[in-house]
Amino acid sequence: MEFLGIVLLAFILICALAVCLTRNLMVSIIILMSQSLAMSVIWILLESPDLAITEAAVGAGVTSLLFFVTLKKIHAIGGEKQDGEAEE
Amino acid sequence: MAKLRNNYESSAWFRFLSWMKKGSSRMERDMIHALETEALPNQRSETEQLALDREREEKERRDRENERAIQDKLHLWSTRRGSRLVRVAYRCAAVLICVAIIYVLLVSMSEEPMFGQAENPVNNEVSARYIEDGLTETGSVNIVGGMILDYRAFDTLGESHVLFIAACSVMLLLRMNLDKNGRPTREQLDAEADDRKYEPHNDVILQKVSNLIVPCLLLFGIYVVLNGHLSAGGGFSGGAIMGAALILYVNAHGLTKASQHKLFGAKVFKYVTFAALAFYSLAKSYSFFMGANHLDSHIPLGTPGNILSAGLILPMNISVVAVSLKKKYSFYPLFRKGDF
C-alpha cells in the first residue's frame, strides 16, 4: 500500500510538471485529468472516500470538460472534420 | 486662443446655461446642429455649398492626419522602447513577487509545529469530542457528515452560498439575453451555430453507452445523497456525480434536446436554488448569532443506521445537492452557448 502511495505521488509530481511544460493545450488538459484521477486514488488510500468521489467527478470530469469547451470556443482545438467543413 | 467670437451658441456661458436648463450635452447639440444644416441644402447657393464641402474635407483630412500621427507615435513606443521597458519590468516584478511569496510561505511554515506530534494544537479535545460523542449527539453514523452538517453547519452554509455566487457570476458573464421582442439576438444565433458545428453528429457508440451508464450514475448519486448520514458521501459528492451524469447525457444526445425540457431551464434553476438556500439558511444561520453554539431543534434523532435518522442532516444534504447539482449542470450549457 505504501509503495502504491509513493508511486502515485511521484506520478502526480510528474504530471504537475508536464502540465506546465507541454505546449499543446489539449494534451495539458488530459494530463491534468490523469493527475486528478491519481489524486482520487490517493484520497481512497487516505481513507476518505467522499473526497475521492468528489475529486473524480469534479476534478477529472467536470473541470476538464469546461476547459475543453472553452478551448473549443476560442478555436484553440479543432472540431470534428466531417461534412467537408473547412477548418480555419 | 484669442479668437473673435461671433457665434454665441458655442460660447461657454451659453453651453453652461443650456446644460443647466435641460442637460443637453455638446454632442447632442452638435447632432441637432448637423441635422439642421443637412435639412436645408436647397436654400444655400452652390458656391456656399462648395465652400462648406471643401471645409469639411479639409477638416476630415486634418483629423485623419492627427490620428495617424498619434497612432504612429504609440506604435513606435510600443514596439521599440515601451515594450522592452514593460518586458523588463514584468520579469523583475515576477521574480520579486515569487521570492516574496516563497519567503512568506517558508516563514509561516517554520512557525508551524512539527507534523504528527501528540501535543500539537490539532489534537485537542474538539476532535476527540467529535469522534467519541458524534454518534450520540448528531445521530449520524458517518462522522464526517455529522461534522459538516451539524457541528459545523455554518461552515457548509457559507460553502453552498459560495457555490451559488459562483453560478450567479458565471451567468452574469456568459449569459446572452433575448432581445426586447423575446427573439434570440444575432450574437446568440451565432453562438448556437458555432456550437452546432462542433457537436458530435449522432455518435452511436456514445449514445448507447450513455443510455446504459447515465441511469446508473444518477441512481448512484441519489444513493450517495440519501445515505449521506450513513455512509461516505453527502450533498457535494452526490451533486458532482449527478451533474457529471447529466453532462454526459447532454454530450451524447445534443444540447437542444435536453434543454427543451423544462426541468433544465433557468426558471427551475432560480426556484430550486432559492428554496434550497432559504431552507438551509433558516435551519442553520442562527449559528452566527449564537457564537456557533447548538440550538435544540426538537427533531428526534432516531435510531442510528436508519434512513430516517440524524435529524436535519438528511434534508440539509438534499438542499446542498440541489444547489451543487444545479450549479454543475448549468455551467456546461452556459459555457457552450451562453444560455440554458
Q: Is B330 exposed, middle or buried (0-12, 13-18, 19+ CB in 10 A)?
A: buried
Residue B195: the pLDDT is 66
Mean pLDDT estimate for chain A: 82
Count how many domains chain A has. 1
- Chain B residues within 8 A of A47 when measuring between CB atoms: none
Residues 6+ apart with CB under 8 A from B131: B143
Residues 6+ apart with CB under 8 A from B153: B283, B284, B287, B316
- Chain A residues within 8 A of B243 when measuring between CB atoms: 57, 62
Segment B215-223 mean pLDDT: 89
Q: Amino acid letter at B116?
A: G
Whether residue A28 is contained in a domain is answered as: yes
Q: How far is B22 from chain A (nearest CA, A)?
A: 46
A85 and B CB contact within 8 Å: yes
**Residue with more model confidence, A53 or B97:** B97
**Which candidate in A44, A66, A74 is best for mutational testing of the B interface (most B CBs within 10 A)?**
A66
Would you say the ipTM is above 0.85? no
**Which candidate in A64, A72, A73 is best for mutational testing of the B interface (most B CBs within 10 A)?**
A73
Cα A9 from Cα A41, distance rounded (Å): 10
User: Does residue B104 have a pLDDT over 70?
Assistant: yes
Are the Cβ atoms of A80 and B144 closer than 8 angstroms?
no
Query: How many Cβ atoms are within 10 Å of B326's Cβ, its own excluded?
Result: 22
Output the CA torsion A33→B173→B155→A49 (10° steps): -20
Segment B129-140 mean pLDDT: 77
- Chain B residues within 8 A of A82 when measuring between CB atoms: 201
Q: What pLDDT, in 10s, does the model give residues B222-236?
A: 888 888 777 777 778
Whether residue A84 is contained in a domain is answered as: no
Segment B165-190 mean pLDDT: 74
Domain carrying residue A53 = 2-73
Cα B141 from Cα B188, distance rounded (Å): 49
Whether residue A50 is contained in a domain is answered as: yes
**Residue with more model confidence, B11 or A66:** A66
User: Does residue B122 have a pLDDT over 90?
Assistant: no
Query: How many Cβ atoms are within 10 Å of B153's Cβ, its own excluded?
Result: 21
Question: What percentage of chain B reaches a pLDDT higher than 90?
Answer: 7
Segment B93-107 mean pLDDT: 94
Residue A59: the pLDDT is 85
Size of interface A-B (CB pairs under 8 A): 57
Nearest residue in A to B237, CA atom: A54
User: Does residue A87 have a pLDDT over 60?
Assistant: no
Mean pLDDT estimate for chain B: 77
Radius of gyration of chain A from its Cα atoms, rounded to whole angstroms: 16
Q: Amino acid letter at B285?
A: S
Cα B172 from Cα B164, distance rounded (Å): 12
Give A82's pLDDT tier (boundaries 50, 70, 90): very low
Residue among A33, A23, A15 nearest A76 (CA)? A23
Are the Cβ atoms of B237 and A50 closer than 8 angstroms?
yes
**Residue with more model confidence, A87 or A54:** A54
- Chain B residues within 8 A of A48 when measuring between CB atoms: 144, 232
Give B43's pLDDT tier (boundaries 50, 70, 90): low
Whether residue A80 is contained in a domain is answered as: no
Segment B230-255 mean pLDDT: 81
Radius of gyration of chain B from its Cα atoms, rounded to whole angstroms: 33
Residue B216: the pLDDT is 92
Residues 6+ apart with CB under 8 A from A63: A32, A36
Whether residue A82 is contained in a domain is answered as: no
Segment B37-54 mean pLDDT: 72
User: Does residue B30 have a pLDDT over 80?
Assistant: no
Whether residue A83 is contained in a domain is answered as: no
Nearest residue in A to B145, CA atom: A50
Cell numbers 432559504: residue: B278
Q: How far is A50 from chain B (nearest CA, A)?
A: 4
Residue among B185, B174, B192, B212 nearest B254 (CA)? B192
Residue B118 has φ and ψ, to the nearest 5°, of: -70, -30
Residue B229: the pLDDT is 77
A57 and B CB contact within 8 Å: yes
Using left for φ > 0, alpha for ψ between -120 and 50, and beta otherwise, residue B298 falls in: left
Cα B272 from Cα B322, distance rounded (Å): 7
Residue B258: the pLDDT is 65
Are the Cβ atoms of B201 and A80 closer than 8 angstroms?
yes
Whether residue A78 is contained in a domain is answered as: no
- Chain A residues within 8 A of B240 when measuring between CB atoms: 53-54, 57-58, 61-62
Whether residue A23 is contained in a domain is answered as: yes
Are the Cβ atoms of B331 and A80 closer than 8 angstroms?
no
**Whether the Cβ atoms of residue B237 and residue B145 lie closer than 8 Å to each other:** no
Q: How far is A79 from chain B (nearest CA, A)?
A: 5
Q: What pLDDT, in 10s, does the model give residues B47-85?
A: 788 888 888 899 889 988 888 888 887 777 767 777 778
Nearest residue in A to B227, CA atom: A50
Cα B189 from Cα B209, distance rounded (Å): 31
**Whether the Cβ atoms of residue A19 and residue A35 lie closer than 8 Å to each other:** yes
Q: Indicate the residue of B224, B234, B332 with minimum beta-carbon distance to A65.
A: B332
Q: What pLDDT, in 10s, does the model give residues B283-338?
A: 777 777 777 666 666 676 767 766 667 677 777 777 777 777 777 777 777 777 76
